[in-house]
Structure 1
Amino acid sequence: MTTLTALAAAALLCTPQTALAAPDDPVAFVPTPADTPAERAEADREAVEEKLANAAIPPGPLSFGAEPLAAARNAAEGAAAGASCAITAESATALALAPVWPEVSASSSLPPSPMTLSRYDNQSGLYDPAGRDGLFFNPGVGLWQMDSAGLGTNNTAGEAIDSVWVSDFVVPYIVDKYCAAIERGSAAPAARATAWADWNACAGGDCDTVYWRAMNTGIGSDPSVGRHGGAQPRTCEFEGASYDCLFVDVADAQGADWWTRPESGRSPVPSPFYVLRAGSGDGVREVRVWLAADSGHGVDVTVTRPFGGNARDSLSWTDGLGLCDTTTGRGSC
């Protein structure tokens, strides 16, 4: 196995992108250059601009996957019941779901997909150091685009995709921020803006528009979009231990799937991969694994991110390390 961390890569001299290792070379890693602070800032600014440009939601009824909507409503009922300010379960649901459409729908009238992977980020630290197609760590994941640079730093892509897990995390968070702002003397519109401050797509006012549409006309329930948006829960054996894992194949995405098309964003569409949470204590990490059979690169590839780390500068890539999907018998079994 050959391992290269993004942090170590930043200290190495490297050849241009055209000189990267051949796709089937399992060991000859040539690191992509680390972004300078100025380049990082510019990439972040461009990502926000692209997201805002796609934040508008077309007119018509709002629709949401049946299982994801039930999960959000259940979390909202609990959050409203325990809130420190007066808020109904209906308002808590609308408040919590308002960022989802501007964040992930990109003007699609289809229900948001729980599997949505970000397509606006292209910092070099997210790419496979060997430059192989389809091996890319999309940092924003799921309905609320949980990103390792922010709210998603201590969860995996699998948890961000799971609409039950992520609703139980995000909905109370948004309601608590709203109530804290109310208690500091903010009027309701300003308190809503405070509650949505973590989501860049809300900066232009689209989230407030969605909030009032949800309150005034409701949210339709679409049974074609399930809890994981097409991703498949599995059990995996990795490094000698058994884990719950999720198999993510964008070809199976349910709901709005604009993001699955290569031309729909700056960052690559990843090949099918597995994701799991491994380790304990200070050693907890997110693990994403591409089996050779799924990527077509002739070798299993694993990338890990320590919890608390921003994927843009904390990834470690390893060739020759795979897993066994014990549910289906695929992989290194």
Structure 2
Amino acid sequence: MRNSTIDLLKVLASQIIVIHHLLLYTPMSPVLQAEWPALLGLIADEGRYMVQIFLVIGGFLAAQSLLGLLGKARDVAVWPLFKKRYLRLAKPFWVAIAVAVLLGWLSSKIAMHSEISDLPTLAQLLAHVFLLHDIVGVEALSAGVWYVAIDLQLYAVLVLIAWASQKTGQLKFLEPAHALLLLASAMALASLWMWNRNAEHDEWAWYFFGAYGLGVVAHWAQRESKIVLSSLLIACVLGIAMWIEWRERLLLTGVTALLLMNSAQIERFVTLIVQGPVRWLGDISYSVFLIHYGVLVFASSVVIALGLTSVAEMLLAFVATWVVSVAAGWVLHRVVDR
């Protein structure tokens, strides 16, 4: 059954991230931020936190799949599951990176600016093919691509947890689903209270597992009808985490987990919002996230070459770049992702 809350959250997160990057990396940004400093400044500064929504959703959906396998007593085949997830993430990612490189090269022929990079080396391309770009320390070929590698790592960790949980079922002292919940919760606590406080670890799954693990807890709570108790526990865990070290992003993480936990209860109300265009934007959100950076690099060169300066011209260019980014995401979704 389709979850309208997930659709709505994906639309909000993906579109705000696109606007966030437009405000960070394009020549339209200074002119427009001077005109609307409060709103656009907020998105430019805080828009990066929207990735927390994707992390929680990722944990929620992965738990839905893996708890389903454990509930049916089907083997958790680690390598086939990992390979399937890798190809699901990587195929549209490869195309988006190729488009970003091509548009970057074309942009350099129109007008140079700071977001245009040199053509990638073979080592740089191979690192991106295998989603190792952050681990091996090569320059990213697109904005936000760290998330794709982290999503794969997080899923791999949860699959290993599910595999280990299934083995506990053979010992007859703990049901596999409960073992998965305990192991994932313990790792989420360690992430929220320790690992997530050190940004030097942000190329590894354990830095982000707090948000992902809350998604796992949210699905389990919905599945087992333990919503009130789980809500209180999440509030306490996040309260302690922010007492240890204040991190604004954890507020959004908690709200997302609570919304997903209650998504079955609010489905009929959210469905009233998630119709037609909103559902369509939810479907293509991952593709838009992947491909928009190449579009904005090219659009920046066009704006510079045309010598646009006025607020009206910059606003038109900003909106046009946004629309083309969404259209390019739709094409990527149609051709590759779907």
| TM-score bracket, shorter-length normalisation | under 0.3
Q: Which has the higher helix share?
A: 2
> TM-score w.r.t. structure 2 length?
0.25
Indicate the structure whose relative CO is greater, using CA pairs within 8 Å and at least 6 residues apart.
2
Q: Which has the higher strand share?
A: 1
> TM-score w.r.t. structure 1 length?
0.25
